[in-house]
Amino acid sequence: MHVVPKITDPEEAVNPPHRVQCVINGQPHDVSVIPRRTLLQLLRDDLHLTGTKEGCGIGTCGACTVLVDGRAVLSCMLLAVQADGRTVETIEGAARDLDPLLDAFLHHDGFQCGFCTPGQVMTLRALFRRDPHASAEEIQRAVEGNICRCGAYLRIRTAALAARDARAQSER
């Protein structure tokens, strides 16, 4: 489906939309995007993938983390046009794949309000894909850019370790 957003801003009239073709959570998308629109805005506002959260909007909290070509990125810091020709994964994709991280976060109370959870999960998803046997220190380092205002850090780390161990168990 080719989604063409409504032009409501006079600046948008002089910066016409660009076509972006990408795969999001396994589904091909073909959208027209104003050049200054972020990937986060495309995902949440245009495609209604609202699992990805906007915290700071300036690249400091990690709430908006998604995967682009398998790498964890801050979608508030990436222009939507930069997703052209790439694969994007959001928390909705992790849920579709029944990522064991989701189960582990639930079982180990890896959240309080849950606002930071999609970003935490996507950061860890990228880490475990790269290194399924990541150490506790590597896990700690991977999520250090993901701020949890509820301070659930200990339980987030416990959930991450449990997901890693469950994955290792299922490989045996």
The residue ranges that bind ligand FES (CB under 6 A) are 54-57, 59-64, 74, 76, 111-116, 148-150, 152
**4 vs 113, which CB is nearer to ligand FES?**
113
For 154, residues 6+ apart whose C-beta sits below 8 A from its C-beta are: none
Which contacts of 63-69 are long-range, i.e. CB under 8 A and separated by 24 or more positions?
A: 63/115, 63/116, 63/118, 63/119, 63/146, 63/147, 64/40, 64/119, 65/118, 65/119, 65/120, 65/122, 65/123, 65/146, 66/39, 66/90, 66/91, 66/122, 67/122, 67/125, 67/126, 68/39
Q: How far is the CB of 170 from ligand FES (least distance, A)?
A: 27
**5 vs 55, which CB is nearer to ligand FES?**
55
Q: How far is the CB of 165 from ligand FES (least distance, A)?
A: 22
Residue with the two structure tokens 């609202």: 50
Q: How far is the CB of 19 from ligand FES (least distance, A)?
A: 25
**33 vs 143, which CB is nearer to ligand FES?**
143
Q: How far is the CB of 59 from ligand FES (least distance, A)?
A: 5
**109 vs 131, which CB is nearer to ligand FES?**
109
